[in-house]
């Protein structure tokens, strides 16, 4: 169970000490895509769990418990389908220029930044050749900060869809009773629905409506909702994201954090983890706090990962509620105007 957030908390992944977020996207002149970067320039233990049937990923094998590299320096989430994996090249370049990475030589500055990545499919909303490249990743890093990240149709959520509505980037955080912080950043682009079409309310986290200045939509708006979203290519989608903590997790534990966070997708999206989704979640642990003494570690870990699933679900909901309409794909706010206060 979460405790009240301390003064100054942002309800965002950047509440986790040691993390920065940068986002860069384009939504003009045929563009409808972008990337979001979570940076841990001082290093963070990483994990990953892939559940969707059509994932697009990079450097995930390094996150296995038996792999050599102990920490990562960033996670890149991008649009552009498999083409968008190139955005991570720009993240690597930005980190390498500043000496952040896995040292491979006694010579100063000879490091290889470790930047696992995942992509979502948004190629049917903008021009086919308009997709993220290394410049996107580099620019996102240039914009990285510890401030609360923007939500909605930004970064990797620029061209995202969520069922019949516009998708986007969402973030959330919580603080456990022992002071451990958890946060999530999600790019929401699933085949399934985040909003119950019978009520106009999120499947998970209705409280997020009030948090974003919204209210329950009127029955008239709900009754006039369309049956489905028109698609040019077919249902190719994905939810990708990061769940992070300041606890001192091992690689095995960081992988467990990522695995259980998928429960957040299952709570917030129906259906979830389809063959047409590439659902991928990364776990990060900056190690700024001790999780628990050895006798209580498994109990503490279980509480931590369960809270991670809750935070991830909230971030999914926020990504849709905060989105704006683009290229004929209507946002929640435009589809349910009565939800606006």
Q: What is the mean pLDDT of residues 179-192?
A: 97
- Residue 75 lies inside a defined structural domain of this protein: yes
Full DSSP string of 181-214: EEEEEEEEE-SSBSEETTTTEESS-THHHHHTTB
Lowest model confidence (mean pLDDT) among 58-67, 105-114, 221-230, 275-284? 221-230
Q: Who has greater pLDDT, 184 or 4?
A: 184
Q: Who has greater pLDDT, 179 or 341?
A: 179
Tokens 């697009």 locate to: 56
**What pLDDT score does 298 carry?**
95
- Residue 2 lies inside a defined structural domain of this protein: no
pLDDT per residue as tens digits for the range 314-327: 999 999 999 999 99
Q: Who has greater pLDDT, 328 or 140?
A: 140
pLDDT per residue as tens digits for the range 117-168: 999 999 989 899 999 999 999 999 999 999 999 999 999 999 999 999 999 9
pLDDT per residue as tens digits for the range 201-225: 999 978 899 989 999 999 999 998 7
**What pLDDT score does 233 carry?**
44
DSSP letter for 123, please: T
57 strand-pairing partners: 118
- Residue 207 lies inside a defined structural domain of this protein: yes
Q: How far apart are CA 232 and CA 247, in angstroms?
A: 44
Q: What is the mean pLDDT of residues 16-34?
A: 96
Structural domain count of the chain: 1
Domain of residue 240, CATH code:
3.60.70.12
pLDDT beyond 80 at 2: no
181 strand-pairing partners: 175
Mean pLDDT of the chain: 93
pLDDT beyond 80 at 77: yes
329 strand-pairing partners: 326
- Residue 3 lies inside a defined structural domain of this protein: no
Neighbours of 263 (CB within 10 A): 17
Q: How far apart are CA 323 and CA 173, in angstroms?
A: 19
> Domain range spanning residue 132?
13-339
The token pair at 108 is 């100063």
**What pLDDT score does 8 carry?**
60
Full DSSP string of 273-340: S-TT---EEEEEEEEEE----GGGHHHHHHHHHHHHHHHHHHHHHHHHHT---BTTB--HHHHSGGGB
Q: How far apart are CA 171 and CA 184, in angstroms?
A: 5
**What pLDDT score does 225 carry?**
72
Q: How far apart are CA 40 and CA 149, in angstroms?
A: 15
Reported as a pLDDT band with limits 50, 70 and 90, residue 231 is very low
- Residue 138 lies inside a defined structural domain of this protein: yes
pLDDT beyond 60 at 3: no
- Residue 211 lies inside a defined structural domain of this protein: yes
- Residue 99 lies inside a defined structural domain of this protein: yes
pLDDT per residue as tens digits for the range 247-306: 999 999 999 999 999 999 999 999 999 999 999 999 999 999 999 888 899 999 999 999
Reported as a pLDDT band with limits 50, 70 and 90, residue 228 is low
């Amino acid at each position: 169970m979460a405790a009240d957030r301390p003064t100054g908390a942002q309800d965002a992944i950047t509440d986790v000490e040691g993390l920065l977020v940068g986002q860069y996207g384009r939504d003009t002149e045929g563009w409808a895509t972008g990337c979001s970067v979570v940076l841990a320039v001082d290093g963070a233990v990483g994990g990953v769990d892939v559940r969707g049937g059509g994932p697009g990923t990079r450097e995930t094998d390094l996150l296995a418990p038996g792999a050599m590299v102990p920490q990562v320096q960033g996670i890149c989430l991008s649009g552009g389908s498999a083409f968008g994996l190139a955005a991570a090249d720009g993240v690597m370049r930005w980190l390498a220029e500043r000496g952040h990475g896995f040292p491979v030589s006694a010579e100063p500055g000879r490091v290889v930044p470790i930047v696992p990545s995942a992509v979502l499919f948004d190629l049917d909303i903008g021009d086919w050749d308009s997709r993220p490249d290394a410049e996107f990743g580099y620019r996102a890093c240039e914009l990285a900060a510890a401030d609360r990240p923007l939500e909605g149709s930004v970064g990797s959520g620029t061209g995202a869809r969520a069922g019949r509505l516009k998708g986007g980037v969402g973030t959330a955080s919580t603080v456990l009773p022992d002071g451990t912080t958890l946060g999530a950043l999600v790019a929401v682009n699933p085949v399934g629905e985040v909003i119950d079409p019978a009520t106009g309310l999120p499947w998970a986290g209705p409280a997020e409506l009030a948090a974003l200045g919204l209210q329950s939509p009127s029955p008239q708006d709900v009754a006039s909702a369309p049956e489905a979203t028109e698609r040019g290519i077919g249902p190719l989608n994905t939810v990708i994201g990061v769940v992070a903590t300041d606890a001192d997790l091992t690689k095995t534990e960081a992988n467990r954090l990522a695995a259980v966070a998928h429960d957040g997708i299952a709570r917030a999206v129906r259906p979830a983890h389809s063959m047409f989704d590439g659902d991928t979640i990364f776990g990060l642990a900056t190690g700024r706090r001790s999780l628990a003494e050895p006798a209580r570690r498994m109990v503490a870990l279980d509480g931590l990962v369960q809270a991670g699933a809750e935070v991830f679900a909230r971030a999914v909901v926020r990504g849709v509620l905060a989105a704006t309409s683009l290229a004929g794909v209507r946002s929640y706010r435009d589809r349910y105007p009565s939800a606006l206060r």
